[in-house]
Structure 1
Amino acid sequence: MTTPLLLILVAAMAFLATHVAYEWLARRLLIVSGAEYLVLGVLLGPQVTGLFTVAAIDASLPVVVLGIGWMGITSGMPLRLTQLVRIPAVAYRLSLVESVVTFLLVGAGAASAFAYGFQLDRASALVPAVALGAIAVASTPAGLDVAFGGRRRAVPVLQQIEVAHGMDGLLSVLAYGALVAYLHDAAPLLVRPLTMTEWIVVTLGIGTLGGMLFHLFLGDEDSPDRLVIALGGAVILTSGAAWYLQLSPALAALALGVVLANSLRRPGAVTEVLRAGERPLYYMLLLIAGVSWRPEGNIVWWLVIGHYVILRTLAKLWGTGLVTWLNRAHDRVGLDWGRALIGQGRLTIALALDYSRRDLPHGDVVFTCAAVSVLFTEFFA
């Protein structure tokens, strides 16, 4: 089977999964992560049936970059300033501490596991550990989408969970983007190598420029057909430019989303188009990730995976309860709202797939941790 035909097959399967399987599984069985398509990708890959060849995996890179950028822009669209200022400060304080605690706890545990299991020095273990810490922060709102859909009740605990999801996505993308900028190789055409801060500014500048161009040519256009084409072009331009410069497509697309959310007078139409395209692209990422996945049964791998899953679960459950109690907010939101943050999904897979596609240390281990976490937290979302 030729590579273009395989990519068309993946797109068709993702479309059918979105419009047929998702609603039934989500409503009847409460399965919301789409992890079954990751397993399907493994079955279609070179390790099992061999239907997807190495050439097909390499040819899927544009789809991967588009999917990563799409997950990034959906993380930036909720950051509309006029809505954010209405939220109580305590909600941001609880969410920020929860995200930072998760990043530090998982990052420190993963660094110890990498150093001990792979006999690495601390400096060499930090790169994959920081990547896992950033990925661990991300959580999925899929459980809330299934339970409430677009009709969220105006109660403090649901507001707290939504703010926490937004904060998790923001800090996850920022931390991962900063890591990619830190590891960036010197460009040969530059007079001097750019610093990490300068590469971050370049990444954000790419997204800002993409948002300005979109606003210039479309403005407050609300036609779904035109928005799909325009948004697809904007995401491809932004994420593709970031990938070409060896930067983070998710961070550039997040900046694009923030610009659109705060510059458009009616961003609702853009948000609806993004939501409609998010799930098919996520399933395509899952299929491609499963095809290119190279897991091993090494005991050292399970040591790292165990650290990741256990420490992340503890941070989301006990960390949220502790910070809520210390801020005396338990009467408002309770102590167990962190259970809604256990699930991982779209952004997790996007960042892990981004890391594994780069020539960075222990990419297969990092992606395996993320994939196992998605599988493990599927029924808890």
Structure 2
Amino acid sequence: MTTPLLLILVAAMAFLATHVAYEWLAKRLLIVSGAEYLVLGVLLGPQVTGLFSPAALDAFQPLVILGIGWMGIATGIPLRLTQLVRVPAVTYRLALVEGVVTIALVSAGAASAFSYGFQLDRAAALIPAIALGAIAVASTPAGLDVAFGGRRRSVPILQQIEVAHGMDGLLGVLAFGGLIAFVHDSSPLLIRSLTTTEWIVVTLGIGALGGTLFHLFLGNEESPDRLVIALGGAVILASGAAAYLDLSPALATFVMGLILANSLRRPGPVTDVLRSGERPLYYVLLVMAGVSWRPESNIVWWLVIGHYLILRTLAKLWGTGIVTWLNRAQSRVGLDWGRALIGQGRLTIALALDYSRRDLPYGEVVFTCAAVSVLFTEFFAARFVRSAAEPLMLPLTQLTATTEAVAGSVTDTVTHAIPGFLRGDREDQPPAYLDGATAEDVGDERSADGADGADGRQQATPTSLPAAEDR
């Protein structure tokens, strides 16, 4: 099958998955769909049907880099400073400690597994282990979107989960970008080799330049069509420059998203465009990841995968519970809110695919850990969120319903006891001519009422005069 036809096939599958399967499954079954397209990519790959050849896979690399960059900017665009300052400090403290604990625990466990399984020294095992730690901290926000939609900011537990998703994305992108800068080879075009810090500065500079140029040329644009073209070009520019320099496209576009979120006067249209393109590109990444996946049934691989899954789950569940108890915040968010962070999705696949496409040690093992985690957790991400949040939201819902019922009962009682208590009842009644009478009829009625009133006043005057004469 030719490459253009494959491109049309992938685009059609992404469109149908976004507008049909995802919405239907999310609304009716509370399931976050997407991981099945990873299996579809395996079926289309050279290991099963062979529809995707290695040459076709190389031709899709620009689209893969665009998808990785899009996940990076989508992670940075929600971090708007004017909204972040309204969140309590304890919410950030809980999210930060949870993310750091996850990275440290998974990295340490994976380093031990690599050292024991592949007979490596600790220095050689640290690179894939830190990559797994950066991938493990990321969690998908799709579960929160499907389970509760736009209600998240009004409830403390939902606000905590949302902030934790943003903090996990921030820590994961920074840790992964720093690792890529650390293992970066020297460029032959430079006079001297740049240090890790200098490569990180270069990556941040690419994102800052892309965000600044977009703000200057299309800062006040609100047309969706022009924004899609311009934003796609900006992401291609930033992620392509980072990929050309063998740096992290996700970190570069993440910085660009931060700049756009805090520099644009109205970031809403840009956010809508990013969200509309995020899920189709995620499905494309899943298919491409499945096509390029080369898993092996090796006992050492399962040792590393087991360490990754178990330690990540313990960090998300027990780590969040312990840090919440130490900060005495269990009455606010409970001890089980880390259950909502178990699901992994778009950022996980983007970082893992970015690592596996490079010539770095044990790339297939790292990607297999991420792929297995997405397959086992993304389907139930919304149910994880609901099971963690509903026990704390139920008392608030009951209290709201009770308050509304009491207020309605009091209002009805006072209305019956004091007629006319609800001012505006008569004002809300329609004029007489709206019930079938004409304006002339209303005018005649008013004239008759005025005549009757005048006659009444004329009759009342003689009756009052004798009283005055008697006095």
Deviations 1:6-30 (A, max 9, x none): 1221111101110111111222232
Q: Are the equivalent residues in 2 in contact too, given 1:70–1:278 (CA < 8 A)? A: yes
* 1:52 matched residue in structure 2: 52
User: In structure 2, what residue type is equivalent to 1:361?
Assistant: P
* 2:347 matched residue in structure 1: 347
* 1:262 matched residue in structure 2: 262
Q: Please show how residues 152-191 of structure 1 align to structure 2 within 5 Å.
A: 152=152, 154-191=154-191
* 1:43 matched residue in structure 2: 43
Task: Please report how far the alpha carbon of residue 316 of structure 1 lies from its aligned counterpart in structure 2 after TM superposition.
Answer: 0.3
* 2:74 matched residue in structure 1: 74
1:209 aligns with 2:209: yes
Q: Are the equivalent residues in 2 in contact too, given 1:33–1:374 (CA < 8 A)? A: no
Deviations 1:150-207 (A, max 9, x none): 3435011111100000000000000000000000111112221111111011001000
CA distance in 2, matches of 1:151, 1:67: 29
* 2:27 matched residue in structure 1: 27
User: In structure 1, what residue type is equivalent to 2:186?
Assistant: A
* 1:135 matched residue in structure 2: 135
The unaligned stretches of length 5 or more in structure 1 are none
Deviations 1:68-126 (A, max 9, x none): 00000011111111111111111110000000000000000000000101111111100
User: In structure 1, what residue type is equivalent to 2:138?
Assistant: A
User: For structure 1, which segment, 24-33 or 124-133, has the greater mean C-alpha deviation from structure 2 after superposition?
Assistant: 24-33
CA distance in 2, matches of 1:129, 1:151: 37
* 1:275 matched residue in structure 2: 275
Number of residue pairs matched by the alignment: 381
Q: Are the equivalent residues in 1 in contact too, given 2:10–2:284 (CA < 8 A)? A: yes
* 1:324 matched residue in structure 2: 324
Task: Please report how far the alpha carbon of residue 267 of structure 1 lies from its aligned counterpart in structure 2 after TM superposition.
Answer: 0.3
CA distance in 1, matches of 2:153, 2:100: 27
* TM-score, structure 1 as length reference: 0.99
Q: Are the equivalent residues in 2 in contact too, given 1:321–1:335 (CA < 8 A)? A: yes
Higher Cα radius of gyration: 2
Q: Are the equivalent residues in 2 in contact too, given 1:342–1:380 (CA < 8 A)? A: no
SS of the counterpart of 1:152? helix
* 1:305 matched residue in structure 2: 305
Deviations 1:195-229 (A, max 9, x none): 11110110010000000100111111111101000
Q: Are the equivalent residues in 1 in contact too, given 2:261–2:267 (CA < 8 A)? A: yes
CA distance in 2, matches of 1:51, 1:150: 41
User: In structure 1, what residue type is equivalent to 2:317?
Assistant: L
User: For structure 1, which segment, 244-253 or 141-150, has the greater mean C-alpha deviation from structure 2 after superposition?
Assistant: 141-150
Q: Are the equivalent residues in 1 in contact too, given 2:21–2:33 (CA < 8 A)? A: no
* 1:360 matched residue in structure 2: 360
Task: Please report how far the alpha carbon of residue 33 of structure 1 lies from its aligned counterpart in structure 2 after TM superposition.
Answer: 4.5
1:315 aligns with 2:315: yes
CA distance in 1, matches of 2:380, 2:142: 11
CA distance in 2, matches of 1:239, 1:254: 10
CA distance in 2, matches of 1:328, 1:31: 33
SS of the counterpart of 1:172? helix
SS of the counterpart of 1:13? helix
SS of the counterpart of 1:149? helix
* TM-score, structure 2 as length reference: 0.80
CA distance in 2, matches of 1:124, 1:365: 14
Structure 1 segments of 4+ aligned residues over 3 angstroms from their partners: none
User: In structure 1, what residue type is equivalent to 2:94?
Assistant: L
* 2:335 matched residue in structure 1: 335
CA distance in 1, matches of 2:188, 2:45: 37
* 1:230 matched residue in structure 2: 230
Q: Are the equivalent residues in 1 in contact too, given 2:91–2:163 (CA < 8 A)? A: yes
SS of the counterpart of 1:5? helix
User: For structure 1, which segment, 104-113 or 28-37, has the greater mean C-alpha deviation from structure 2 after superposition?
Assistant: 28-37
Task: Please report how far the alpha carbon of residue 5 of structure 1 lies from its aligned counterpart in structure 2 after TM superposition.
Answer: 1.3
CA distance in 2, matches of 1:189, 1:41: 38
CA distance in 2, matches of 1:170, 1:153: 20
Q: Are the equivalent residues in 2 in contact too, given 1:152–1:158 (CA < 8 A)? A: yes
Deviations 1:287-320 (A, max 9, x none): 0100110001001000000000010000000100
Q: Are the equivalent residues in 2 in contact too, given 1:136–1:348 (CA < 8 A)? A: yes
Deviations 1:356-378 (A, max 9, x none): 00000000000000000001112
Q: Are the equivalent residues in 2 in contact too, given 1:138–1:169 (CA < 8 A)? A: yes
CA distance in 2, matches of 1:31, 1:310: 23
Q: Are the equivalent residues in 1 in contact too, given 2:76–2:170 (CA < 8 A)? A: yes
CA distance in 2, matches of 1:325, 1:60: 48
User: In structure 2, what residue type is equivalent to 1:288?
Assistant: M
CA distance in 2, matches of 1:219, 1:290: 37
Alpha-carbon RMSD across the aligned residues, in angstroms, is 0.8
CA distance in 2, matches of 1:300, 1:29: 37
1:246 aligns with 2:246: yes
Q: Are the equivalent residues in 1 in contact too, given 2:25–2:33 (CA < 8 A)? A: no
User: For structure 1, which segment, 244-253 or 12-21, has the greater mean C-alpha deviation from structure 2 after superposition?
Assistant: 12-21
SS of the counterpart of 1:87? coil
* 2:440 matched residue in structure 1: none
Q: Are the equivalent residues in 2 in contact too, given 1:316–1:338 (CA < 8 A)? A: yes
* 2:374 matched residue in structure 1: 374
User: In structure 1, what residue type is equivalent to 2:48?
Assistant: V
Q: Are the equivalent residues in 2 in contact too, given 1:356–1:366 (CA < 8 A)? A: yes
* 2:112 matched residue in structure 1: 112
* 1:296 matched residue in structure 2: 296
Q: Are the equivalent residues in 2 in contact too, given 1:33–1:142 (CA < 8 A)? A: no
SS of the counterpart of 2:26? helix
The unaligned stretches of length 5 or more in structure 2 are 382-471
